[in-house]
Amino acid sequence: METIAQILLVEDNQMDVILTLDAFREAKLQNKINVARNGQEALDYLFGEGKYANRDEFPIPTLILLDLKMPGIDGFEVLSRIKSTEGLKRIPVVILTSSKDEGDRALSYDIGANSYLIKPVSFEGFIDVVRKIDDYWFSLNINAPEK
């Protein structure tokens, strides 16, 4: 039996959360998506703290879709914490941002991002990106061993 991939979407913009979730539904993808609405919530989820302590309800994700520009703890800090933590560092992290800044892209890869995608402007573009994420990360890519 195939396991449904667990995705953690880290996004502070409610419209982008809705757009991303709608794109997954429209693409008819079966991935389970949990949403963290800021950097602190993402870290709480990943480290199983507070309301995220129940790993049956909030499992370690198979893939993280991470926005960079968030108030408080930003995506760069979240990425740094992920990539410096045993048990998390091998989880693929796809930066999903509106930032076209070359410095942001360079820093993301320097910290350990596995991919950098710029959010499409149109809903159709979002559906296309979501399908490509699913095709690559859950069909073609062979993940690193968990330990």
Cα R_g (the chain), whole angstroms: 14
Q: Would you state the pLDDT for residue 26?
A: 87
**Residue pLDDT, tens place only, 101-134:** 999 999 999 999 999 999 888 888 888 888 888 8
Q: Which residue has the tokens 């991919």?
A: 115
- Whole-model pTM: value is 0.92
Asked if pLDDT for residue 140 goes beyond 90, the answer is no
C-alpha–C-alpha distance, residues 51 and 67, integer Å: 22
Residue 106: its H or E element: helix 102-111
Q: Would you state the pLDDT for residue 147?
A: 62
**Residue pLDDT, tens place only, 8-61:** 999 999 999 999 999 888 888 888 999 999 999 999 999 999 999 999 999 999
Asked if pLDDT for residue 145 goes beyond 80, the answer is no
C-alpha–C-alpha distance, residues 90 and 145, integer Å: 8
- pLDDT category, 3, cuts 50, 70, 90? low
What ranges make up the beta strands (E) of 23-77?
32-36, 63-66
Domains of the chain: 12-140 (3.40.50.2300)
140 or 2: whose pLDDT is higher?
140
- Strand, helix or coil for residue 9: strand
